[in-house]
Amino acid sequence: MPELPDITVYVERIAERISGSTLERVRLASPFVLRTALPPISDAHGRRVDGVSRLGKRIVIALDGGLFLVVHLMISGRFRWLAANAPIPKKLGQAAFDFSSGTLLLTEAGSKKRASIHLTTSPQELGRGGLELATASREQFVAAMTRERHTLKRALTDPTILSGIGNAYSDEILHRARLSPLLQTPQLDAERWQRLWQAIRGVLDEWTDRLRRESGSDFPTQVTAFREGMAVHGRYGLPCPVCNNPVQRIRYADHETNYCARCQTDGKLLADHSLSLLLKKDWPRSLEELEELRPAVQRTADPRFSQKDPAAPGKRTARRRS
């Protein structure tokens, strides 16, 4: 799912192309992508674009007259910028927004179509948003994170707590802060909160600047959760850039958390929900025990495991060394 750095660059590049232009029409290839009936989508036609902004992981296009188009890309939704009135591709196309300056195409890969479009007079009604980190203080951040007891991974990725952080950048933030993803929020002292706060600001700012430089003035086309230069996310089995030990993972349902045991958990391995159940009492508790059991573990889970970006089926996005 595109997170704050990618969404920020999307907002900036879309704004450069459509601010002040007219939304001539919205074409829907799938009727299910539109999640609102009132006001009708035709009410948006012929209106001037007053601005483009981010609301959590949603992109908001403000139209004159107090209407807002709100698009949530979910996991595999992506935008493309095309010439005016470009056709919607049959395989991936979901919708097209025809502006006087060009066409903004919404695509979505995969069989589970979760991307959504809302036309509303109040974007905030679509859900309680989390804390905006760019304008928040450290005290506000700690207060938001400690309202309820959660693991750090859960708290960082909960959109009602923090705005814009998902699976990928939470891995990078926790590695930068040298904190376990399973550490409970009440367990943090002042020094750990400070490390986490600095890591959040550093990781998000650095990656946003990096993605801006990579796209330049072009419209972003390589929007993915797995990027060269990440420390741990999508790098299971590869060496940690800090300590050179292999990156570990926790798998649960459709999600995966990547971490470095040496940098984040004092060398202790966190229980993987699939392998630990299989190995039971033989599950290694440390990197040293893992080395002893490596042949058995390799037979169960090949360390050459590769991640795939759901927005680009079949494309290998993180390669494992054999």
Q: Which two tokens stand for residue 227?
A: 């990027």
- Domain limits of the chain? 4-126, 138-215, 248-318
Q: Which two tokens stand for residue 5?
A: 């750095």
Which range is least confidently modeled, 45-54, 143-152, 275-284? 275-284
The 10s digit of each residue's pLDDT in 105-147 is 999 998 888 999 999 999 888 876 799 998 999 999 999 999 9
Cα separation, 197 vs 239, in Å, equals 25
Domain 4-126 and domain 138-215 have a common topology:
no
**In the block, which residue shows the tokens 């009936």?**
37
pTM of the model as a whole: 0.84
Burial (CB count <10 Å: 0-12, 13-18, 19+), residue 212: middle
Q: Where are the alpha helices (DSSP H) in the chain?
A: 4-18, 138-145, 152-157, 167-177, 190-215, 261-264, 275-279, 287-300
**Residue 259 pLDDT more than 60?**
yes
Question: In sequence order, what are the residues at sequence separation of 6 or more whose Cβ sits closer than 8 angstroms to the Cβ of residue 191?
Answer: none
Q: What is the DSSP letter of 124?
A: G
The 10s digit of each residue's pLDDT in 52-75 is 999 999 999 999 999 999 999 999
pLDDT band at 1 (very low <50, low <70, confident <90, very high): confident
Cα separation, 11 vs 94, in Å, equals 19
The three-state secondary structure class of 170 is: helix
**Residue 315 pLDDT more than 80?**
no
138-215 folds as Helicase, Ruva Protein; domain 3 (1.10.8)
Cα separation, 246 vs 317, in Å, equals 18
**Residue 235 pLDDT more than 80?**
yes
Q: Please give the average per-residue pLDDT across 225-249, as a whole number.
A: 94
Cα separation, 199 vs 165, in Å, equals 13
Measuring CA to CA, how many Å separate 212 from each of 11, 198, 209, 231, 240? 11, 21, 5, 19, 26
| DSSP strands (E only) in 203-296 | 248-252, 255-259
Q: Which two tokens stand for residue 159?
A: 């959109």
Residue-averaged pLDDT of the chain: 87
Cα separation, 156 vs 167, in Å, equals 9
**Residue 303 pLDDT more than 90?**
no
The arrangement of secondary structure in 4-126, i.e. its CATH architecture, is Alpha-Beta Barrel (3.20)
Q: Which two tokens stand for residue 301?
A: 């889970």
Q: Please give the average per-residue pLDDT across 18-36, as a whole number.
A: 96
Q: What percent of the chain has pLDDT over 90?
A: 73
Higher pLDDT, 270 or 193: 193
